[in-house]
A = this chain, B = another copy of it.
Amino acid sequence: MALRGNLLVGQSGGPTAVINASLAGVIEEAKKHPEIDGIYGALNGVEGLLKEHLADLRAEPEETIALLPHTPSAALRSCRKKLSDADYARLLAVFRAQDVRYFCYIGGNDSADTAHRVGLLAKEAGWEMRVMGVPKTVDNDLAYTDHCPGYGSVARFNALATRDAGMDTAAMHRVDVVKIVETMGRNAGWITAATALGREQPGDPPHLIYLPERAFDPERFLAEVKAQVERGRGCVVAVCEGLRDAEGEILVSFKHAVGTDSFGHSQLGGVGNYLVDVIAEGLSIKARFDKAGTIQRACGVAQSGVDVAEAKMVGGAAVAAACRGESDQMVTLVRVSQSPYRCETSLAPLEAVANAERPVPDEFIAESGNDVTSAFIEYARPLIGGPLPRYARLKLAPVPKKAGG
């Protein structure tokens, strides 16, 4: 017999361009199941849940739900909160009081951990509830899934942005010789690697790509930048904010680490700025850096159509699986076909997903350590949706010289 009660959905961790598509997927699928009464949203994830700040999502107009997939960032608002034992007990009290029988938590590995513990506690307490994780992270570092919804769009943004910034450098390389494009990525270089998807021809930017999966050596970096600059068309370098030195220490973190979040993550950033200085000191060459920051993860106009569709699909699949009786699982994506590209959903235990990380594997990183491989391109290309808009390339046929000199 179907488990009757309310469904609660929450969003957690850093926003993405498509986390609301997953929310729309959850809502639309929930509406198809008569055993689900209320469809509630937790405001600011578990933070709002602790305060019983819930929103009635059945009260939202159809038109709003239809716009959700194309609305970046977290419409229910998000949080980064590690819960205490007392917090978990409180959550359970709220679930019981609100008759929550279905809990879908959209987030990354920290959120999977939270959802797993919630599920355990409910089981111990004899409160029948189905707990499902919906994968979401621009970092693409969740294990057990081909990729994470949110990644395709941040990858598309960085492919577009690096191509554009690279064209800017191509035009200005005698003035702005080196351009650093700093991308997000705490522990994994997936986002930085995606800058390579902006290349169309050999020699196109980015010319160098540095991932946190390889120790960053300033001396080698300077030599590699110098060699590229000497080729005479400027040098575009993609770097990850989470670059590490040979000891595995973060290269640059903010001078003032205010408000380390409750999972103990410190504030990263500033690698681009730092490398501009390294290049000025080491090579006496002018560099500049672009750091799109949160713009890259919440960019509406760079949404990947594939990413939007998949984010919605995993949201729907979470509800469908819960209604089938599944619990304590995260929805995963399985690539069933590369050409044409197609993914289906599957499930993986929340406990396995929780706190696991998947760095960029060796086969996706060039031996040089400063580029990606064609295997990475093959993996990532379908995720950014359609091809990038076509640009003109002038032939620039030379006019014979006549002025002498």
Contact = CB atoms under 8 A, between A and B. Distances in A.
Interface string A64-85: 1101101111111111100000
A78 B171 contact: yes
Which of the four size classes fits the interface of chain A? Answer: 35 or more
Interface in A22-46: 38, 40-41, 43-44
A346 interface: no
Interface stretch (A129-137, A282-290, A348-356): A282-290
A177 to B, nearest CB: 7
Q: Counting chain B CB atoms within 10 Å of each CB, which of A52, A394, A405 scores highest?
A: A394
A170 to B, nearest CB: 7
Interface stretch (A112-120, A220-228, A268-276, A329-337): A268-276
Contacts of A43: 396
Contact of A391 (B70, B172, B295): B70
A392 B405 CA distance: 63
B171 A401 contact: no
Contacts of A366: none
Interface in A295-330: 295, 297-302
A70 to B, nearest CB: 7
A164 B254 contact: no
A253 B285 CA distance: 16
A4 B65 CA distance: 63
A292 B394 CA distance: 27
Interface of A: 11, 14-15, 20, 38, 40-41, 43-44, 47, 52-57, 59-61, 64-65, 67-68, 70-80, 90, 93-94, 96-98, 160-161, 163-165, 167-172, 174-177, 179, 181, 254-256, 258-259, 261, 267, 269-270, 273, 276-277, 280-281, 284-295, 297-302, 389-399, 401-405
Given A68-B392, A72-B164, A288-B293, 5 more contacts: A72-B168, A160-B299, A161-B292, A290-B292, A300-B391
